[in-house]
Structure 1
Amino acid sequence: MKNLVILGAGTAGTMMANHLVSKLPKKDWKIHIVDQFKTHYYQPGFLFLPFDIYTEEQVKKVGKKFIPKGVNYIQQRIEKIDAENNLVDLENGTLSYDILIIATGSKIAPDEVEGMMSEEWKKSIFDFYTYEGALALRNKLRDWQGGKLVVHITEMPIKCPVAPLEFAFLADSYFKKKKIRDKVEITYVTPLSGAFTKEFCSKSLGYLLEEKNIKLVTDFAIERVDFENNKIIDYIDKEVGYDLLVTVPTNMGDEVIERSCLGDDLNFVPTHPNTLQSLENENIFVIGDATNVPASKAGSVAHFQAETLTDNILLYIDNKPLKEEFDGHANCFIETGNNKALLIDFNYKQEPVTGTFPFSGIGPLKLLKESIFNHWGKLAFRWIYWNMLLKGISIPFVSRNMSLKGKNINN
């Protein structure tokens, strides 16, 4: 009996377990999935928690209920991957593998910036990329009476690159509803040269920041947080003052990748961008936020990756050439506040453009255009996530590779 081991039971790992359990011959293969945590979080929901749009119960469930029958679920801490000997050291024993899938995700590392994780952490300095951070920020915003709100990105890459911008837009709506928008100065601070990660988006959607009276500070490479004087300071001594700092700290791969000497400087695993096979070990595959591929770190990307990776696992078992198929496809709703959202669809080579999705000419969703339909799509994604994505069910009319149908490529 051969062993296929999946490390991590988050979005990517759970999807792979559901994809493979019905495709690998049970008489030859045993699938194991390892994760130390009981709770599975709907991480896109963390964006909505601070604004009381989602409740705590809507963004978390018991993870084991999504692991299919026939998969051996092991709830233990992963100590180290011994790639040379095809072994995984757990807190209580060792697990051997013939094929390993690394789906250990990424996490915030606020300690990477001097002063960020100070005595003011969760007092005047917050994140919303963790469940605990989003809840603490919700409690802060409920009573906050106004001042300088700074929404800040430390460095790229980060999970869901548009989430910080969505936070700024939702904050604008939130304070308007509380009738204190005139008492809140919102500033968006980014290390990039524009508000969006994609150039065409920045040019096309700059009006949103002006319309919502959100100040933009670009090319800000933070050196430290001066928490005693409520300022963030970059390497050329540029300063931005705040009363409330909502920051996206450095995102890094799991510490097990560092302990196993399998990652880059940020603990992301060097991965073939099209096959999702490890560049260093042919029987190791990587998916989701754990990879270093230049695709967006988002659940929809992991969903598209999972379909290609499933095919490639089967091809690898049969000693056949792998598909160089994954194209970096990402599909993302961007909440803009006031019950509206944008939709972008892009890949490694094609930036987001205007058009219709998923059908040419008729949509019904508009690309790079605000609409209430896109907002409903954003909210509906939570149901799709729990009931389709995690279970490895394809989304109708949305292909794993980006389609050019309906897109105005020559914009």
Structure 2
Amino acid sequence: MSTHIANRTRVLTLIGTIITQFALGSVYTWSLFNAQLADKLSEPVSRVAFSFGILSLALAVASSMAGKMQERFSVRKVTIGAGILLGASLLLTAHATNLILLYVFAGFLIGFADGTGYLMTLSNCVKWFPERKGLISACAIGAYGLGSLGFKFINMYLLEHNGLESTFDVWGVIAMVMVIIGGLMMKDAPKQEISAVEAAEGVRDYSLAESMKCPQFWMLALVFLTVCMSGLYVIGVAKDIGQSYVHLSVEVAASAVAIIAVANLGGRLVLGVLSDKMARTNVIAIALAVCLLGVCALLFAHLNMMVFYFAVACIAFSFGGTITVFPSLVSDFFGLNNLTKNYGVIYLGFGIGSFIGSIVASVFGGFIATFYLMFALLVVSLVIALTIKLPNGESDAQLVANN
């Protein structure tokens, strides 16, 4: 493939990935629908909201399987299939008549469609730009985050003017068309060849089975689970923390949602770009330190509105930055060619982490137990980030210096 054609192909793949990620990010508007779905099904909001927990878990599981599907069918075909399934699932959700159907359509199917497209298209795009992995991750994952913001306004408008079922129908069609268009623009990234310099330094591609035999794989998995548990738990209940724990008014507590959105996006952009300039383990250490600062504020500071905003901003910044940098970090440790599979298994921590925080809070009766668990795991993860070596015994900083 000539350089001109290769550049055109990878730019088109990047644009297609951004369009796809924007549409896939729309699932994070789910909280807009809980109250109306609860009224329609005559069920408590808490039971209806559980569908999003199923969605998060299905998303993580599908992400871990997407690499195999891409190998068999190509990124284009799998992305188009994910788009069709996402649209169909949203149309089916519009007509769910009981909780079980809601859990199947809105939880399992939407989550599976979203996860299939999310990690595979992100990893494929990163492989096209090995020299700009952090920046490309920031563009793709930033689009995913902006999708939740953009579709928030679209879905709020539709809910206000068209009603619940029509909103799901229109949302389904828009998201499906965007993912299909994005998929048509993508091509599978070429297999990355390891240079003579990298080979001499011991850099190589690890299969999933080989990666899972390395202690570094499980260390990175623990770090990822820690940040996801902290971020997803606090983002999910920020308003409730503000009201019940900090004793703020509903309006002041609800403003945390906007602060989280800005900090989350800021983390993706700042740490994503920074990860192309310095060792990615150091970038993750910065993210963990910022998150630890936020958790310490919630646990040990005298709480008021500004301290609460500062704490949730720190945690959201860290979460956004970590999920942006992690695909590139995993490729540094285990190679680019099997990134979708290797990161796919680590990404299960996203779904598991979202459950652990809520389970600990419900078993031990409140936020404080989860905050202490977050504190302990963040300390352990920070030590890992500062001391972890590549599987060949080199440090991440040495890899950056050599390149």
Using CA pairs under 8 Å that are at least 6 residues apart, name the structure with larger relative contact order, 1 or 2: 2
Which of the pair is proportionally richer in strand? Answer: 1
